[in-house]
Structure formats: C-alpha cells, structure tokens
Amino acid sequence: MNMHPVMLMMLANQRQRDLADEADRHRVLNGAREARKARRGRKARAVRGQPTGSLTSCDPSAAVPAR
C-alpha cells in the first residue's frame, strides 16, 4: 500500500502529538499522586508524638471573654 508522502508526514506528526499528550497526562497524574502522598505524610507527622487529649491537666482554666 503506497501513501502520499504528505499523508505519511501528517500521520507521523499526529502520532508525535499523541505521544506528547500522553506523556503530559502521565506527568500531571504522577504530580497529583506525589502531592497527595506529601499531604498525607504531613498530616501523619503533625499528629505523631502529640498527646491524645486524655492527658490534659486537671487545673481549672479561666476563660477570658472575647472583646
């Protein structure tokens, strides 16, 4: 099957654009996954090592009225 050289060039260019679009999608999705992992990791680190609330002091605290 013979194709016109212009048609072959158009198909090759379209394939290159498709591959570039797919690579962009992968980069965006991977970036979102990494950001999600980072957010999840920050939250876990912020809570780790903190008292749970059952260890609060027994001293009465004075409430200060807001202005």
Distance CA 49, CA 44 (A): 10
pLDDT for position 65: 66
Q: For the chain, list residues with pLDDT below 50.
A: none
pLDDT for position 61: 62
What single DSSP character describes residue 55? T
pLDDT for position 14: 97
pLDDT for position 43: 57
pLDDT for position 45: 53
